[in-house]
Chain A
Amino acid sequence: MAQRTAVIGVGQTYHRSKREDVSIAGLVREAAQRALEDAQMDWADIDAVVIGKAPDMFEGVVMPELYLAPALGAVGKPMIRVHTAGSVGGSTALVAAHLVASGTHERVLTVAFEKQSDSDAMWALSIPQPFSAPLLAGAGGYFAPIIRAYMRRSGAPDHIGIMVAVKDRKQALKNPYAHLHIEDISFEMVRDSIMLWDPVRYLETCPSSDGAAAMVLASEAVADRSSSGTPPAWIHGMAMRSEPTMFAGRDQVNPKAGQECAADVYRQAGITEPRREIDVAEVYVPFSWYEPMWLENLGFCAEGDGWKLTDAGATALDGGDIPWNCSGGVLSTNPIGASGMLRFLEAAMQVRGQAGEHQVETVRRSLGQAYGGGSQFFAMWVLGADKP
């Protein structure tokens, strides 16, 4: 049987476009050190380390966990490196959580990072492959046609994407760790920003960041006697699902892997009405239009209605009934490998009441979601203030 598992410590770096003040090791250690301090633990207390990041080509270091082992106090311990594309931060947290839930370990440190400024991520994503057609459009060019398909299918008006971009940047102003702090963000500013991949504007896309995230996951016995002043966030459900990048008849707008992943995690958590039963969600939204798309994919509304929730302000920290991405989300902070873990970590912070200015009042349950590849890899967890 799966053992009860909780988050008892979280830590993240100050995310910036270039963290030239730290090495890769310094970056991951900064996040891990904060997570340990939050958990009131020392490096020696940790049984195992699970680390994740997106492609090694982003930094030009092959399997960097080998070099990072001493910086993360992993010497003499088990260490696992996860890579599941953009969802990796979430998957990494889940692999770590399973090490506890399976009874293998009691205290696991999990870390995810990206130091994009150390290499050229845009190059890494578009290395020309012989025999294939050249990648014609860059990263956003892959998702823009899917967004257009969503707009056509749902009849969503053009301003929805702009609204999400403004909302998440406003929320980022309440998060001291966020990369983008655009003080004068406005509807007009986003609307008038350059159309990069029509229909996607510059300010409707995520930035490129250096950053890391870390969490300490613990067994029930450890969590119960934790000396951290902050209560644990208990895992009520966790799930991963994958499907192929391309196949005949694939629904890329509302992928089945995402729907099934959500259904699995809700079943475990006993959730039947996500909009009513989940108090706050941190969801991987790298292009603003993915908020309404994931609202539907995650079952917060019927298919085709996602944009209506956004339009009505339902997802805003200020006044919404289902605040999404109170931290500012991926649109404000995007150290690719860590972006998914930041969703999982922010979901934990909300349940533990430690989100400061972007804290939602009385959170009993939260959702963290990450996706990657061509919208094909999904990782999710539901956390709760009470033991499951």
Chain B
Amino acid sequence: MSEPVTMLETPIKIEYEFTAGLAQSRYLKGISEGKFLGQRCPKCTKVYVPPRGSCPTDGVPTTDEVELGNTGIVTTYCVVNVPFQGQSIEIPYICAQILLDGANIAFMGLIQEVPTAEIRMGMRVEAVWVDKKDLGPTMASVKYFRPSGEPDAAYETFSEYL
């Protein structure tokens, strides 16, 4: 017997065409204008960002549009020190849950311009956008978040978002 076959490679390629959806299209339109647009649930009044078109707890369409601030709070975070496929940022870097002012849900974002040892829960941060001429309907328009210089938020003010 010759060497047993233990592995065979069968490359797979499938192309997809994605649909952003109505809610996300409006959100991305806002991004292309340099602003964060959330949507409010008509039932529980919570503001979702990015909106997906439905309130995940009530199962009803979120219709009211709400413009949110450019600043927010780091509710929690981790420091990424692991290389993996598709990574575009130099390690170590900070990945945080950010609660934008006026929103009721935090989303994951990159924090820069702060040493990893200084990041903390409750830190106030602001979005840093690409140059105005480069703004487009893509999340790449938001480069990252950085400390805003404001005093930290008290734990009680964001503990319900953990």
Q: Is B96 an interface residue (CB 8 A)?
A: yes
Provide the residues of chain B in CB contact with A144, threshold 8 Å: 78
* Contact call A148/B104, Cβ cutoff below 8 A: no
* Contact call A20/B95, Cβ cutoff below 8 A: no
Provide the residues of chain A in CB contact with B104, threshold 8 Å: 248-249
Provide the residues of chain A in CB contact with B69, threshold 8 Å: none
Q: Is A104 an interface residue (CB 8 A)?
A: no
Chain B's closest residue to A132 (CB) is: B139
**Complex interface residues of chain A between 226 and 262 (CB less than 8 A to chain B):** 244-249, 251-253
* Contact call A126/B85, Cβ cutoff below 8 A: yes
In angstroms, Cα B85 to Cα A137, docked, is 11
Q: Is B36 an interface residue (CB 8 A)?
A: no
* Contact call B139/A133, Cβ cutoff below 8 A: yes
* Contact call A138/B162, Cβ cutoff below 8 A: no
Q: Is B105 an interface residue (CB 8 A)?
A: yes
Provide the residues of chain A in CB contact with B28, threshold 8 Å: 131
* Contact call B57/A137, Cβ cutoff below 8 A: no
**Complex interface residues of chain A between 143 and 200 (CB less than 8 A to chain B):** 144-149, 152-153, 194-200
Q: Select one of A21, A146, A197, A246 contacting B76, CB under 8 A.
A: A146
Provide the residues of chain B in CB contact with A153, threshold 8 Å: 159, 162
Chain B's closest residue to A129 (CB) is: B18
Looking at chain A's contact residues, the main secondary structure is loop
Q: Select one of A134, A198, A246 contacting B78, CB under 8 A.
A: A198
**Complex interface residues of chain B between 75 and 131 (CB less than 8 A to chain A):** 75-82, 84-89, 92, 95-97, 104-105, 107-110, 116, 121
Q: Select one of B57, B78, B116, B159 contacting A199, CB under 8 A.
A: B78
Q: Closest approach, in angstroms, between the C-beta of B99 and any C-beta of chain A?
A: 10
Interface size class of A (residues with CB under 8 A): 35 or more
In angstroms, Cα B50 to Cα A20, docked, is 43
Q: Is A60 an interface residue (CB 8 A)?
A: yes
Provide the residues of chain B in CB contact with A21, threshold 8 Å: 6
* Contact call A244/B57, Cβ cutoff below 8 A: yes
* Contact call A20/B7, Cβ cutoff below 8 A: yes
Chain A's closest residue to B16 (CB) is: A130
Provide the residues of chain A in CB contact with B87, threshold 8 Å: 138
* Contact call B85/A248, Cβ cutoff below 8 A: no
In angstroms, Cα B107 to Cα A205, docked, is 24
* Contact call B46/A247, Cβ cutoff below 8 A: yes
Q: Is A140 an interface residue (CB 8 A)?
A: yes
Q: Select one of B57, B76, B86 contacting A128, CB under 8 A.
A: B86
In angstroms, Cα B156 to Cα A153, docked, is 11
Interface string of B56-84 (1 = CB under 8 A from A): 11000000000000000001111111101
Q: Select one of A196, A245, A251 contacting B81, CB under 8 A.
A: A196
Q: Closest approach, in angstroms, between the C-beta of B24 and any C-beta of chain A?
A: 6
What is the interface of chain A, defined by CB distance below 8 A to chain B?
20-21, 60, 120, 122-123, 126, 128-138, 140-141, 144-149, 152-153, 194-200, 244-249, 251-253
Name 29 A/B residue pairs within 8 A (Cβ), A-sorted: A20-B6, A21-B6, A123-B85, A130-B20, A131-B24, A132-B139, A133-B139, A133-B142, A134-B86, A134-B88, A135-B86, A138-B80, A145-B96, A146-B76, A146-B162, A149-B75, A149-B76, A149-B162, A153-B162, A195-B81, A197-B80, A197-B82, A198-B81, A200-B78, A244-B56, A246-B56, A247-B57, A248-B47, A249-B104
